[in-house]
Amino acid sequence: MHNYQRSTLAAAAALMLAAAWTPATKAVADAPSYYEPPKFKTQVKPNYPDSARAAHETGTVFVKVLVEPNGTAKQVMIAKSSGHKDLDDEVLRVAKESTYVPAMRDGKPTMAFYDFSYSFTLSGLAETAAATSASAQQLASNPKNVSARMALIEANINKRDYAKAESVADEGVKLLPSDARLWSARGAAYYSDASDNDNSRLSAQEATSKAKVAADSYEQAVKLDPKAASPSVAAAAYALYGFHLWASQSYAECIPYADKALTASPKNFQYLMLKGDCQSGQGDYKAAIGNYQSAAQYDDKKNSTISSRLYASLGLAQLNSGDESAGMQSMMQAEKIDPKAPYAYQNTATYYITKNPPNYNAALTPLIQLAQVQPTNVQAQVNIGDIYTRQKNYKAAQEAYTKALQIDPKSGDAQFGLAEIAAAQGDVKSIDGPLQKAIALSPGSAALYNTTISQLLIGTNSSDRLGDAARYADAATKADPNSAWAWYTMGIVYADQQKKDQANSALRKAFDLFKAKNDQVGMNATNQQFMTLNGKDNSLITGSGRSQTTNQSTSPGS
């Protein structure tokens, strides 16, 4: 019997860099009353460079302009850099294009330095109410005024009123579907929404949906006019959606978007990592290793945590391909780059847990190391508890889950661990209390939690527990009808209950869902169970286990 395991791999660091449209502001120093400093005659404000938006760069650029008595800018220089060349260069450009009023001393023009700055921030510069109102009025009088519409979209992005920005952009592309600028602005609105750091306001499904609109909008913009969006900006949108697909285990769908990002930005190591992640998810470890190795060549090494994740991902792919020596060397390199980054420890544990049979003792070692280098890592304690639960060391499991709850009382996974202990012991009466608390803390995990409880009850090998296992499996399929593992578990329960027709139906459903995601591990596991139930000549992979009249599965119990 194949027991489903909750993954030990915590959520990976975000590959994409969020972006925001951030116009700059100007600061003017106070001056003695007898002296009037230079000022702008015509101020050209900077745009947020596309490269900076894609990289989520922020900072303040301090500028010195030597203004002659006739108002000419004799010298323009950066007094203090933002730390980002593209931001500095944009500010230099607009400083040179602007015109100036000279300083006045005792009523006479004089040469003087004009000091000002532009700040590029995540929240951006909110337009004044008057400017926003003017754009809205212009648009109301002429809905096809592209400049006013784009200004209003940008203003609402800066205010983080993404719903309004998206609504204005949606109306624009409906009115003028052939205007590439509006498609690009729509992409920016949805991308800013999906990539906003405060992502707790969006569910995973909502964020994925918005990321898809952003990617599709930029793709349409570039199709209409290749210059409508910077390749780096479009690439970031493609990769953001690809990341969401990877996170939802839609590996086959993820790869084309990783490819689109790489076409636009072929040397971006994070996009190469994304493609490797999706290939690893499919079990194509050879291809994944190639992309991870290419990513390592282009890695700018500015972020040790990301570099550590790269080598940990490479190591896991090498281990899964059968090259344990190379895999462990890569894991050691990941630890060397950033000893406190979690990925090498987590991936090593994942490798041992997913071996057949699992090597729980070997998996414990890196997780305990992780708990030592990151004492406040909730997931490390949860994973340790998971292993102790499956080793039937319930006292140690209780201690690990309790530590996790002490670190974060709102951890759904930690609360769920208490339900796991009860299920593993067949103590059905003690399951629902902590389970419902866990679901309340992490609603999106309801299907996963119920599936795991069902599997643990099956693992007790007690026929008295099969009815309870079926109840939790059914709750899992209702919580998420597209959860392949939930349907797989339902099939196992039905098989153990000698309900062959219902078991076959559930297993076919699981297989179809795994196949849609090109999840080879799930497909193989489901097919093995199907052949065990129906004979080795009946395979869902070859099609011999399918109806001769339909390739669609039916609902369990039909």
Question: What is 266-319 written as a DSSP string?
Answer: TT-HHHHHHHHHHHHHHT-HHHHHHHHHHHHHH-----HHHHHHHHHHHHHHHH
Tell me the C-alpha distance between 305 and 301, whole Å. 9
Tell me the C-alpha distance between 46 and 23, whole Å. 6
24 pLDDT tier (thresholds 50, 70, 90):
very low
26 pLDDT tier (thresholds 50, 70, 90):
very low
pLDDT tens-digit map of 63-113 = 889 999 999 999 999 988 888 898 899 889 999 999 998 877 656 788 888
Question: What is 161-195 written as a DSSP string?
Answer: -HHHHHHHHHHHHHH-TT-HHHHHHHHHHHHHHHH
Helix (H) or strand (E) holding 117: strand 112-120
Tell me the C-alpha distance between 533 and 529, whole Å. 6
CATH number of 35-120: 3.30.2420.10
pLDDT tens-digit map of 454-469 = 999 998 888 888 999 9
Enter the DSSP assignment of 12: P
Closest CA to 236 of 56, 54, 86: 54
Q: Is 50 or 248 the better-scoring residue by pLDDT?
A: 248
Tell me the C-alpha distance between 488 and 503, whole Å. 9
Q: Report whether 133 contacts 106 (CB < 8 A).
A: no
Count of alpha carbons within 13 angstroms of residue 202, beta-carbon side: 20
Q: Is the pLDDT of residue 175 over 50?
A: yes
37 pLDDT tier (thresholds 50, 70, 90):
low
Q: Is the pLDDT of residue 211 over 90?
A: yes
Which residues fall within 8 angstroms of residue 393, CB to CB, at 6 or more apart?
none
Q: Is the pLDDT of residue 6 over 70?
A: no
Average the pLDDT over each of 324-333, 503-512, 526-535, 542-551 and give the range with the smallest value.
542-551
179 burial class (0-12, 13-18, 19+ CB within 10 angstroms)? buried
Residue indicated by tokens 């578990």:
489
Residue indicated by tokens 């972006």:
19
Helix (H) or strand (E) holding 84: none
pTM, whole model, 2 decimals?
A: 0.69
pLDDT score for 550? 34
Torsions phi, psi of 22, nearest 5?
-135, 90
Which residues fall within 8 angstroms of residue 140, CB to CB, at 6 or more apart?
none
pLDDT tens-digit map of 229-286 = 888 889 999 999 999 999 888 888 999 999 999 999 999 999 999 999 999 988 899 9
Q: Is the pLDDT of residue 399 over 50?
A: yes
Q: Is the pLDDT of residue 138 over 90?
A: no
The Cβ of residue 405 has, within 10 Å, a number of other Cβ atoms equal to 19
pLDDT score for 411? 94
pLDDT tens-digit map of 476-529 = 999 999 999 999 999 999 999 999 999 999 999 999 998 887 777 788 889 999
Mean pLDDT value across the chain: 84
Q: Report whether 197 contacts 18 (CB < 8 A).
A: yes
For the chain, domain boundaries? 35-120
Average the pLDDT over each of 21-30, 148-157, 441-450, 514-523 and give the range with the smallest value.
21-30
Token pair for residue 486? 């939930």
Tell me the C-alpha distance between 318 and 494, whole Å. 37
Q: Using N-to-C axis directions, what is the helix angle for 231-247 and 204-224, rounded to 10°?
A: 150
